[in-house]
Amino acid sequence: MSKSGDSKTARIVLTTLGDVAVAVMTARRMARDLGFGETDEFGIGTAVSELATNAIRYARLGEVLLQPIERKGRSGLEAVIEERGRVSKTWTRLSPIPGVRLIAWAWVCPA
């Protein structure tokens, strides 16, 4: 497991399910710090958990990048999950990088 980043972004290397837990806790903390409510914080953590778990389960290696965003004057959180390793040929064709699958999600705080 490796976690790095400045105070605004977090990058978690995924090699074990323990790394998924770190990604989920980090996503939830960042969501809370950005002003998301408890329900949204839980939903964001669940989405990151599912995507990061799939990266470990199917590709065997991945990375999560979490960073604050701003959309139309509202703060939010972006999660980019990168799968490396055993990536399906279907997804490989969709990625600009051979053998890499990128999944991006963004949430914005409710008005």
Compute mean pLDDT per 10 residues along the chain, 111 residues long, and list them.
Answer: 62 94 96 90 90 86 89 86 65 45 66 57
**What pLDDT is recorded for position 101?**
56
* Number of neighbours of residue 93 by Cβ within 10 angstroms: 8
Domain boundaries, the chain: 2-108
Question: What is the distance between the alpha carbons of residues 35 and 83, in angstroms, rounded to a whole number?
Answer: 29
For residue 51, the SS3 value is helix
Which residue type is seen at 40?
A: D
CATH class of 2-108: alpha beta
